[in-house]
Amino acid sequence: MKIKQSLLEYIDNVKNGSFTCEEFVLETLEQIEKHEEILHSYISINNKAIEDAKNIDKKIKSGEAGSFYGAPISIKDNICIKNSKTTCASRILEDFVAPYDATVITRLKNQDALFIGKNNLDEFAMGLTTEFSSFGPSRNPWNSEYVPGGSSGGSAVAVSALECLASLGSDTGGSVRNPASFCSVVGYKPSYGLISRYGLISYANSIEQIGPLTRTVKDTAFLLNTIAGLDENDNTTIDNHNDDYLAEIDHGIEGKKIGIIKQMMGEGTSKEVVDATNEAISKLEKQGAQIQDINLETVDYSVAAYYTITATEAGSNLARYDNLRYGYDFPLEGYEFNSYISKARKKFGPEVTRRMILGGFVPSAGYAGRYFLKAMKVKNKLTREVNEAFKKVDLLISPTVPVQPFKIGEKIEDPIALFLVDFNTVTANLTGKPAISVPFKVTNGLPIGIQLMAEHNEDKFLLQAAYSLEKDTKLPEVPL
Amino acid sequence: MVTAEEIEKVAKLMRIEMDDHAEYIERVKKMLGYFDLLDKANVESEEIDFTIMPIENLRKDEFIPYDEKLIEKLKNYKGTYVRAPKMV
């Protein structure tokens, strides 16, 4: 089976002629067809994938291929690819065809990556199980009765189930790391500003980032080499000085100080997850890292602050969907202006509707001080605490998610239980720090990921640490 | 305590029409109830830092040619105008 390999292995194999891009893409499409009915990781498939693969094979033969050599990459369906549908898993955008490429897409196209399809997600990335997709939930390839995490659930499933070599998701409060943990793949949330958000459909601009999901840490580093860095179309991007994230990835962790976030190992974290995290800590300690506890008191308020801030930004961002400039077929005749928009917006799903209502409420007159401004203050305090922590340690460690994957439908009726699944991941978003989920263990047939977090713009160091944790970890194969 | 009327008012301002008011309101109230946790965060004396982006980082305000007619991608248009419902 050719498809059972990493992105970097694929590139080596195609380069040395072990197989062609077309052969690999054909096998990938067969795998998608075989599993899609159950897993539902894709919203749309690139119908021209084989034609694209043939064209890239020609470039490979003539020595002109870019560094991806036609590697099939999937893209979360909230990132624009020109002339492709970009639905955000929402009925309100079900016919929207993007008129331009996101910067990450342009950069990948320039290096001959092949876009195999667009992945399922929670509608507008609002959710953490993929159950809020308007096109139906994705399922976890480790056990299809269980959620794959979200909101980039389709991306994580596709990478885990060998339906692509790597994927791009977006992470607003853990939306890359959470499904990566649940599906046993690597999920990366870069430093805020490292990857351009141009062409990512906005949810909560001040904290969201595009991030890769891959089978190995090295693959993530390789992807970052292409997609990271300044972009004049996104003035929040930072100069990474063309850092080579793959170089010195095996630098090791010896002598580095690692802090265990106390609040993320206590009440609410399952025994299996705590045990796996302690094993990961021991592994890093054996490689020469020095371990200590770190107290981040404000973490206890981070989820409330996160949802307050993101709902506010979502309420503003989603105001543009009035069905006049883009949307679905809904005749204008017979409606007054405002009633038309209200009727058209009924296509939003229930979770998006709830968050928009929240987003209108928490910053409104009379309530802004109680909710939004307080949430912004919590964000500040948390950032200060984390900055102080990074004066004592080089890295922070925690479980990525406090629990293992749960059954589809198990938490969908309980918004607070769902909120708390984000408990360990939102800190990196609120503070702008880079964080990664590394697959570490499979217990009772379900995966557990470990989260490492580093100081802002220390992405290269974070990947070196993640590689140290990943190295020599033996995990079972996904039971497909 | 947040009332159902307040939530309905905000929903109307956000141009959101709700079929099942009770279901939405109950759940939104639950979420707002959780946000009350912020009261215990002890952040009264905290300042809010806003990130100010330097304007010299903005891209040049230049015309970028687009090879297609963007207006034709819309559902409703007439000539070079977006068509909208009547304002009564």
Q: Regarding predicted confidence, which is higher, A37 or B57?
A: A37
Minimum distance, in Å, between the CA of residue A275 and any CA atom of chain B: 29
Cβ atoms A242, A111 nearer than 8 A: no
Nearest-Cα residue of chain B relative to residue A350: B24
Instruction: Check the CA dihedral A364-A368-A372-A373 and report its sign.
Output: positive
Instruction: Check the CA dihedral B14-B20-B24-B26 and report its sign.
Output: positive
ipTM score of complex = 0.92
pLDDT at B71 over 90: no
Question: Which residues does chain B have within 8 Å of residue A232's beta carbon, measured at their own beta carbons?
Answer: 59
List the single best residue of B12, B14, B19, B86 to mutate versus A (max A Cβ within 10 A).
B14
Nearest partner of A208 among A426, A476, A465, judged by Cα: A426
Q: Distance (Å, rounded) from C-alpha A219 to C-alpha A436?
A: 13
Low-confidence ranges of chain A (pLDDT < 70): 1
Mind listing the pLDDT tens digit for each residue in A369-412?
899 999 999 999 999 999 999 999 999 999 999 999 999 999 99
Decide if A337 and B84 are in contact by the 8 Å CB cutoff: yes
Could you give the domains of chain A?
A: 7-250+430-449+457-470 (3.90.1300.10)
Nearest-Cα residue of chain B relative to residue A297: B41
Minimum distance, in Å, between the CA of residue B80 and any CA atom of chain A: 12
Cα distance between the two ends of chain A: 13
Pairing label, strands B77-78, B81-82: antiparallel
Is A175 a known active-site residue?
A: yes
Instruction: Please give the average per-residue pLDDT across B10-35, as a whole number.
Output: 87
Nearest-Cα residue of chain A relative to residue B5: A361
Nearest partner of A402 among A216, A159, A181, judged by Cα: A181
Is A18 a known active-site residue?
A: no
Cβ atoms A122, A130 nearer than 8 A: yes
Minimum distance, in Å, between the CA of residue B4 and any CA atom of chain A: 12
List the single best residue of B12, B16, B44, B72 to mutate versus A (max A Cβ within 10 A).
B16
pLDDT at A1: 67
pLDDT at B72: 85
